[in-house]
Amino acid sequence: MTELHGNRWQVAHGRSLELGRSSSIMAIVNVTPDSFSDGGRFEAVDAAVAHALACVAEGAQIVDIGGESTKPDADPVSPTEEQGRVLPVIEALRGKTDALLSVDTYRADTARLAIGAGAHIVNDVFGLQREPELAHIAAQTGAGLCIMHTGRDRQKLTDVIDDQVAFLDRSLAIAAAAGVPRDNIVLDPGFGFAKDVEENLELMTRFDALQRFGLPLLAGTSRKRFIGAVTGRDASDRDVGTAATSVILRMQGAAIFRVHNVAFNRDALAVADAILATRAKSREKSS
Give the catalytic positions in this structure: 224, 258
Q: Sort strands 100-104 and 185-188 into parallel, antiparallel or unpaired.
A: unpaired
* Alpha carbon 107 to chain centroid, angstroms: 16
Task: Give me the helix-helix angle, 197-205 and 239-250, nearest 10°.
Answer: 40
CA nearest to 239, candidates 260, 268, 269: 260
Asked if 188 and 218 count as a contact pair (C-beta separation under 8 A), the reply is: yes
Dist. CA 171–CA 155, nearest whole Å: 16
Neighbouring-strand partners of residue 103: 65, 122
